[in-house]
Amino acid sequence: MIGQVREWIHGARHIAVLTGAGMSAESGVPTFRDAQTGLWAQFDPQQLATEEAFRADPSRVWDWYAFRRGMIAKVEPNAGHRALAAFAQRHPGRMTLITQNVDGLHQRAGSAGVLALHGNIAEDKWLDRPKACCRFETALPGSPPRCARCGSMLRPDVVWFGEMLPVAVLAAAQEAAQTCDLMLVVGTSGVVYPAAGLARTAAGKVVVVNPEPTGLDDAADAVLRGKAAQLLPQLLED
């Protein structure tokens, strides 16, 4: 089956790739819930990752994200991340990389133009609509940093529970799915929508790469049981 998928990849004019938490877990990134260790074990992550929680206790939520950022900074992209980046660099314009992950490992591996559906935990944005005085470079340090003039707060640039995915990013991901010749679905459970819906609307063949069954296996033309770090380098070599 690997040989067949390799043929599909080599023959595809446009490949869309959707990655999820399983791919990052191979690098040692704790899953959303696994990050609840030590001091944070007493908290429900779904009660921290909301705008309401941030407004109620900005310092607690900011410190939790600082803790998660520290954990992610200690890990490195794996062979799967690097294989995707190398393929895209060898074949400009042929691959669109869409990820549900917020850890930035695809970008650190060298992938450009990543469509990060849920944002990037390493980046910040203003909680409220920024005023002319709100500038990152002059924000007062703290938990969280604030505008030196109006006091507006910075927050992690991730999609919290109850928030919509970034419109432009989702639209670009949908277009990639609907125009691709092949979609690789890697390391995702396939149960979180609207991301999972991208595979169900893919115009071309769908290949699932995952060590365990997923919610998208029924939509796949091929299912490869294995880890991304092992299979992607084999699939994407020229």
Q: What is the CATH number of domain 1-28+77-118+165-238?
A: 3.40.50.1220
**pTM for this one?**
0.92
Residues 127-151: tens digit of each pLDDT: 999 999 999 999 999 999 999 999 9
d(CA 188, CA 205): 17
Q: Answer yes or no: is pLDDT of 224 > 90.
A: yes
Average pLDDT, stretch 51-67?
95
CATH 3.30.1600.10 domain span(s) along the chain = 30-74+124-158
Residues annotated as part of the active site: 118
pLDDT band per the 50, 70, 90 thresholds, residue 48: confident
pLDDT band per the 50, 70, 90 thresholds, residue 33: low
pLDDT of residue 88: 98
CATH 3.40.50.1220 domain span(s) along the chain = 1-28+77-118+165-238
Distance, C-alpha 63 to centroid of its chain: 21
**Strand segments (E) across the chain:** 15-19, 95-99, 115-116, 119-126, 154-158, 182-186, 205-209, 222-224
Give the burial string for 40-69 (b: 16+ CB within 10 Å, else e): eeeeebeebbbeebbeeebeebbbbbeebe
Q: Identify the residue whose tokens are 């559906």.
A: 117
pLDDT of residue 30: 74
Average pLDDT, stretch 153-169?
96
Residues 8-21: tens digit of each pLDDT: 999 999 999 999 99
- Specify the length of the chain in residues: 238
Q: Answer yes or no: is pLDDT of 39 > 50.
A: no
First to last CA, the chain: 17
pLDDT of residue 150: 97
Q: Before 130, cis peptide (omega within 30)? A: no
Residues 85-140: tens digit of each pLDDT: 999 999 999 999 999 999 999 999 999 999 999 999 999 999 999 999 999 999 99
pLDDT of residue 31: 67
- Distances in whole angstroms, Cα of residue 35 to Cα of each of 38, 39, 45, 188: 9, 11, 9, 18
pLDDT of residue 44: 76
What is the SS3 assignment for 196?
helix
Residues 170-195: tens digit of each pLDDT: 999 999 999 999 999 999 999 889 99
Strand order through the sheet with 95-99: 115-116, 95-99, 15-19, 182-186, 205-209, 222-224
d(CA 91, CA 181): 15
Kindly report the number of other CB atoms within 10 A of residue 110's CB atom: 14
Q: What is the DSSP string of 102-124?
A: -S-HHHHHT--S-EETTEEEEEE
pLDDT band per the 50, 70, 90 thresholds, residue 40: very low
CATH superfamily of 30-74+124-158: SIR2/SIRT2 'Small Domain' (3.30.1600.10)
Longest dimension (CA), the chain: 61
Residues 198-221: tens digit of each pLDDT: 999 999 999 999 999 999 999 999
What region does 183 belong to: left with phi over 0, alpha with psi -120 to 50, or beta?
beta
pLDDT of residue 21: 92
pLDDT band per the 50, 70, 90 thresholds, residue 35: low
pLDDT of residue 238: 85
pLDDT band per the 50, 70, 90 thresholds, residue 34: low
CB-based contacts of 38, cutoff 8 Å, min separation 6 = none
